[in-house]
Amino acid sequence: MTPPKPAPAPRVLTPAPVQLVPRQIEQPVLAPTRAPPQVHPKVDSAYSAYQAGDLAAARADYQDALREDAGNRDALLGLAAIDVRTGRFEAAEAAYLRLLQTDPNDSHAQAGLIALRGGRLDPLATESRVKTLLAADPGANVLHFTLGNQLAQQGRWAEAQRAYFKAYTAEPDNADFAYNLAVSLDHLRQTKPALEYYRRAVSLAEKRGAGFDLEAARARVAQLGN
């Protein structure tokens, strides 16, 4: 009898671009009025291009947005994500550091920098740092994902699974969150839920793109589904 193939490793990914769109509120709220944040049109088009896999168009639009607003957070995060995907790691690191100069607690910039420097950092010290950041901003989905990565690298799969689940629950349309959750469940030999989340990750990646190997994920679905 052929032994089952081992579960894949999780993907340690830098955060994808975010798009800060004002949330629609159905009922009036009794609070001081304030104009909702506006997304720069070029950031909006860049984000769409990024999701479609057109990194050249996305880069051009993010750069246009920065020419008009040099400190635009969404544009800097977008360019950093593109730089990571195209192997321009020093440029990505510079963008994250620039964001952290403005806001040292920027969760996406912190997560991106940790992902880039992962091989050079002490895992326990990094874990402690991420937990400190989460204590200050418990709703930061990307930091739960980052914590999951740190725990997975130490082989602490049950704890990693809980962190990945928090990230996925808060952002269920994120293919990378679904994939790493699937990997953690796979390592815990929870085959049925792992298969469910692999399928979810593949479905999301087919629509919006992702940082993991889509063909490898499909192959794992086939293996677990037999």
Show Cβ contacts of residue 45 under 8 Å, excluding neighbours closer than 6 positions.
57, 61
* Domains of the chain, residue spans: 13-18+39-120, 127-226
Q: What is the pTM of this model?
A: 0.77
How far is Cα 30 from Cα 9, in angstroms, rounded to an integer? 48
Residue 10: CB partners within 8 Å, gap ≥ 6?
148, 149, 152, 160, 164, 179, 180, 183, 184
The reported pLDDT for the residue numbered 8 is 62
Integer Cα distance of 45 and 203 in angstroms: 23
Provide CATH code, domain 127-226: 1.25.40.10
Note the pLDDT tens digit of each residue in 137-191: 888 889 999 999 999 988 999 999 999 999 999 999 999 999 999 999 999 999 9
pLDDT computed for residue 24 by the predictor: 27
- CATH second-level architecture of 13-18+39-120? Alpha Horseshoe (1.25)
Whether 13-18+39-120 shares its CATH topology with 127-226 is answered yes
The segments of the chain whose pLDDT lies below 50 read: 1-4, 12-36
**Structure confidence at residue 48 (pLDDT):** 86
Q: Which amino acid is at 58?
A: A
Buried b (16+ CB within 10 A) or exposed e, 36-59: eeebbebbbbbbebbeeeebeebb
